[in-house]
Amino acid sequence: MKTRETWGTRAGFILAAAGSAIGLGNIWRFPGEAYEFGGGAFLLPYLFAILTAGIPLLLLEYTIGRKYRLGPPSAFRSIYRPAEGIGWWQNAIAFFLATFYAVIIAWALSYVFFSPSLAWGDDAGAFFGVEYLRAGEPLDFFEYRPAMLGALAAVWAVVLLIMAGGVRKGLELANRICIPLLLVLFGVVVVRALTLEGAAEGLNAFFTPQWDKIGDYEIWLAAYAQVFFSLSIGMGTMIAYSSYLKKHSELSTTAVTVGFANSSFELLAGIGVFSVLGFMSGEADVPIDQLVGTGGGVAFVTFPTILSQMPGGAFIGVLFFATLVVAGITSLISMVIVPFSSFEDRFGWSRKKSVLVLGLPMAAFSLLIYPTANGSSMVDAVDFAVSGYGLVLGGLATIVLAFATGKIKALAAEANRTSMLKLGNVWYTCLALTAVVLVYTLYKSIQGQIAD
Ligand code: PHE
């Protein structure tokens, strides 16, 4: 049998796991969610979810991956034969998420090139075609369709090239280059944001708790969904990544490091985005809450508008959108590894075959579907379905499986073989609590949807 390729170094795996976690979810998704769900009141459920669900689930996925050294379907199958389906469910989620995520990276990439000339003029909304995204007529952005398609093709070309390189020369190398670059780019952008006039107002809006909202199950579901999305859990990504770990790799401090790095990045992104919104609100004399929205709104409409009014905006624009691209690529490859590792481990495919038979069709789907009229309106829907339900269900199924098969103890023992922090009752309790919270919020949410 061929020996399985492994990560070259411990740092290599940590960088890759952090690279997967830190992505568009931190910069593009988190600030809007936090604001929409009660500003400071969102932070509490969010932190609670990181500690009790995020880190424990990271550990669960790392352990499963390292123990079985197989892509998600085969790993689940080794735990309990019929559970293979969980892994294929995660493949379906990965397919939709990756094909849509690439589109957002492509938007960002095209904006790297639009920024120097502030190409959106004085109507960034029309330029982006936000009306169009929300059901109106096609507008200017789509006259840029060649740019969009070119950007999307470039994103996929880079991703498939990285994938073709395998673990060390592909995934690990890409993260070694991208993560330091990301820190520099992002650092400059946040410092600039914080030194803008009005930044404090923005931060107030971000950090002011709306306590009356804390009891809403929607906030809790949103916080859990954000944590799942942001830490890349529930989709088998971390199972796939850790299936390339060496048997003796340490897990617990890695999970804590990744969780901490991701949240720090996320909070900093929130601080950066809200500083800029504070500036904008002062300039335009508009209350902040009218400036935020999720999705395309903040990054591709509000931001460009602000860049046009800000000294040095063109330069910051290039850095900001490049940050999105770099952060996005390191996450996108971790989504694509899910189907790749699944088919390779289940059906003995070679990497070359995966690139041709899985990678190219994914790229084609992404290119053919999303830039079209109906496709672009799918972006929000896919984000909602995938992150709101898909990942959360994947994570829930993993927990239920571990407990129901009684394998949870064996998994803890496997992790404890090398872990500095020993997994035991606290870990079991956190996982069980997570399952209960998820079942409850999902139930409430479905009930709510039916009632509407
Ligand atoms: N964590 C990534 C982000 O924050 C998204 C992601 C989700 C990546 C699931 C892999 C798996 O953008």
Q: Which domains are seen in the chain, by residue range? A: 10-451 (1.10.4160.10)
d(CA 299, CA 296): 6
Tens of pLDDT, residues 289-337 = 777 654 456 788 888 888 898 888 999 999 999 999 999 999 999 999 9
pLDDT band at 367 (very low <50, low <70, confident <90, very high): confident
What is the distance in A from the centroid of ligand 1 to the CA of 25? 6
Tens of pLDDT, residues 144-183 = 567 778 899 999 999 999 999 999 999 999 999 999 999 9
Residue 238 CB neighbours (<10 A): 29
pTM more than 0.95? no
What is the distance in A from the centroid of ligand 1 to the CA of 26? 9
- In order, the DSSP letters of 401-444 are HHHHTTTHHHHHHHHHTT-SSPPSHHHHHHHHHHHHHHHHHHHH
Answer yes or no: is pLDDT of 375 > 80: no
3-state per-residue secondary structure call for 375-403:
HHHHHHHHHHHHHHHHHHHHHHHHHHHHH
Structure tokens at 292: 């935020």
Is ligand 1 within 6 A of the CB of residue 237? yes
Is ligand 1 within 6 A of the CB of residue 24? yes
Average pLDDT for 177-196: 94
Q: Of 46, 134, 74, 117, which is closest to residue 343 (Cα–Cα)?
A: 74
Type of residue at 376: S
Q: 407 CB contacts (<8 Å, ≥6 apart)?
A: 79, 80, 401
Tell whether the torsion through CA atoms of 286, 321, 364 and 371 is positive or negative: positive
- In order, the DSSP letters of 248-288 are T---HHHHHHHHHHHHHHHHHHHHHHHHHHHHHHHHHT--G
What is the distance in A from the centroid of ligand 1 to the CA of 123? 31
Is ligand 1 within 6 A of the CB of residue 252? no
What is the distance in A from the centroid of ligand 1 to the CA of 232? 4
Pocket test for ligand 1, best of 30, 265, 331 (most atoms within 8 A of CB): 331
* Mean confidence (pLDDT) of the chain: 89
Give the percent of the chain with pLDDT over 70. Answer: 91
d(CA 329, CA 311): 29
d(CA 274, CA 33): 12
Average pLDDT for 338-343: 98
Q: Report the range of poorest mean pLDDT among 219-223, 390-394, 443-447.
A: 443-447
Is ligand 1 within 6 A of the CB of residue 249? no
Predicted pLDDT at 7: 97
Tens of pLDDT, residues 226-272 = 999 999 999 999 999 999 999 999 999 999 999 999 999 999 999 99
Is ligand 1 within 6 A of the CB of residue 71? no
d(CA 220, CA 37): 9
CB 268 within 8 A of CB 96: no
Predicted pLDDT at 206: 87
Give the percent of the chain with pLDDT over 90. Answer: 63
Q: Give the burial string for 147-170 (b: 16+ CB within 10 Å, else e).
A: bbeebbeebbebbbebbebebeeb
Tens of pLDDT, residues 392-437 = 999 999 999 999 999 999 999 999 999 889 999 999 999 999 999 9
Higher pLDDT, 136 or 4: 4
What is the distance in A from the centroid of ligand 1 to the CA of 312? 31
Output the residue whose Cα is nearest ligand 1's atom 11.
232
Q: 36 CB contacts (<8 Å, ≥6 apart)?
A: 222, 292, 293, 294
What was the ipTM of the complex prediction? Answer: 0.98
Average pLDDT for 37-41: 81
CB 185 within 8 A of CB 328: no
